[in-house]
Amino acid sequence: MNIFLNRDIARLILLQRIELSTPFLKKIRKLSGRYFFTNVASKYFISPKKIGEKYLEIMQKEYDDLAKFVNFDDKKILSIGGGICGFELLTILNHQKTHISIIERNFLSNKVVYGWDKENSEAYNDLNLVKLFFIKNGINENFFSIYDFDNEKLPEKHFDIIISLYSMDYHYDFNLYQSYFKKIFKKETKLIFDTIRPDYFKKMFNNVDIISSVQNTVHKSNRIICSEPKF
Ligand SMILES: C[S@@+](CC[C@H](N)C(=O)[O-])C[C@H]1O[C@@H](n2cnc3c(N)ncnc32)[C@H](O)[C@@H]1O
């Protein structure tokens, strides 16, 4: 499979998935700092084609791994912080009756820092590019809706699956979404996200399963599936 992507989309993908950096880009980031990396290197020193190929590979693996645990057929899915939404694209392509609502932000921080962002002041996305990515890859607007976290009312309906890969509780606190979740959870809703503190959620949900863990990065994390919130 080939995916459409242009240089601006490839740049955002690189910032969202920093593991796609080449050794050359890593060196530039170290020597010239985050500002130069975010504003210059990520724009001009990249190969969009190579980023596209690697991104597709990573997203395919994310999709294959998750499809072992959840059935995406004919589901209402909410994605929180999906980035350019490669995972969401593959999910829609594989499950024609599925609809995905996407909550993301519409700005790019000046210096992307990849730590815990207490104030949730960071973002690296452009919602017009997310839309372009879907449309150019053959998905029409009946299958997805995009919500700007900072400027739009979030969708208030019950979802079957809520998914946040390396976003909620990985970069910013779960509690930002907790009261919103009260409005959109039903008994069967499954919430999947990456966190560095899985035990904390055992007190908050009746069911919590760790489905994978990443231990070889600075940010050691677990991917968990939760259902039946107690809050
Ligand atoms: C590390 S990226 C992960 C992107 C994608 N899920 C992936 O796995 O490639 C984190 C994403 O969270 C988004 N983000 C930051 N704060 C957010 C918020 N409050 N709500 C939704 N998305 C947010 C950023 O814009 C960014 O695209």
Give the pLDDT mean for 112-136.
Answer: 92
194 lines ligand 1 (CB under 6 A): no
103 lines ligand 1 (CB under 6 A): yes
pLDDT at 74: 97
Question: 3-state SS string over 67-128?
Answer: HCCCCCCCCEEEEECCCCCHHHHHHHHHCCCCEEEEEECCCECCCCCCCCCCCCCCCECCHH
pLDDT tens digits for 20-77? 999 999 999 889 988 898 889 999 999 999 999 999 999 999 999 999 999 999 999 9
* In the chain, domain spans: 71-229
pLDDT tens digits for 147-187? 999 999 999 999 999 999 999 999 999 999 999 999 999 99
pTM of the model: 0.96
Is residue 113 over pLDDT 90? no
Is residue 127 over pLDDT 90? yes
Is residue 216 over pLDDT 80? no
Q: Which of 17-31, 110-124, 126-140, 204-218 has the lowest mean pLDDT?
A: 110-124
Residue type, 221: S
The pick from 105, 106, 121 for probing ligand 1's pocket by mutation, whose C-beta has the most ligand atoms within 8 angstroms, reads 105
Separation between Cα atoms, residue 120 and residue 100, nearest integer Å: 23
Going by C-alpha positions, the residue among 118, 116, 85, 79 that lies closest to residue 13 is: 85
89 lines ligand 1 (CB under 6 A): no
Q: Give the pair of three-digit tokens for residue 148.
A: 């700007």
CATH number of the 71-229 domain: 3.40.50.150
